[in-house]
Amino acid sequence: MTFSKHPKTRLGAFPAWHAPLRRIWLAAGLAASLVVGQAMAADPAQKAAAAESKAGVLEQKAAAEGSKALPTPAEVITKSEAQAVDPAGEEPLDDAITCLARTIYWESRGDGQAGMEAVANVVMNRLGHDGFPNTICGVVQQGREEGACQFSWWCDGRSDDAEEEKSYATAKELARKALNRQLADRTGGALYFHHQDVSPSWSAEYIRTIEIGEHIFYKPNRQKAH
């Protein structure tokens, strides 16, 4: 019988003199895993914070009368940043992306891409316009104090949480594009819209611009809201 001069060591089996080194390797591996895990957990939060900060700047630019300036590269909201904001559709409505995305979602998720873009257009057209607030959340929530909300979903008494993940992801993407000034205005400058099954008295006072999906869009005469 012969014996190997250098017997093989099974994978994972360490000679006694390797035990201290093995413990060091295991400790280092656990520490590295913890750091990576913390970084992965923090990354969405960091992206969301970055998106909300950029959105605040961009809505201020959009609200400035006559401002058509495109965002600088540093101000552009990326897709991953926008999607990191309000991932479950349950966050409070206190930032531009969430307020705009939730409005797009609730007002037009059944109208397809064109209808969702049109609702985004109306919110952005109102931003800073005479008679409307200078922030997206202000535009979306306008009228509640008088008991007559501008956007019906905001005060219909039902939950404002998004229910369909795919549709809400689309809404956030459109909100991102709207803030980045990457959405063409499908509505011809509309500031108002209503469902095709109703005939509000105010519709006779404005100029009808287009019908998209189940909604009809209007702009004011002489471009002055009231």
What is each CA distance from 46 to 38, 80, 86, 101, 205, in whole angstroms? 12, 11, 13, 19, 46
The answer to whether the beta carbons of residues 215 and 191 sit under 8 Å apart is no
Mean pLDDT of 84-110: 94
Q: b/e map of 154-191 (b: 16 or more CB within 10 Å)?
A: beeeeebebeeeebbbbbbbbbbbbbbbebebbbebbb
| Higher per-residue pLDDT: 203 or 33 | 203
Q: Per-residue pLDDT for 190 more than 60?
A: yes
pLDDT band for position 145 (cuts 50, 70, 90): low
**pTM for the whole structure:** 0.78
Q: pLDDT (tens digit, 9 = 90+) per residue, 24-43?
A: 443 444 344 433 344 444 69
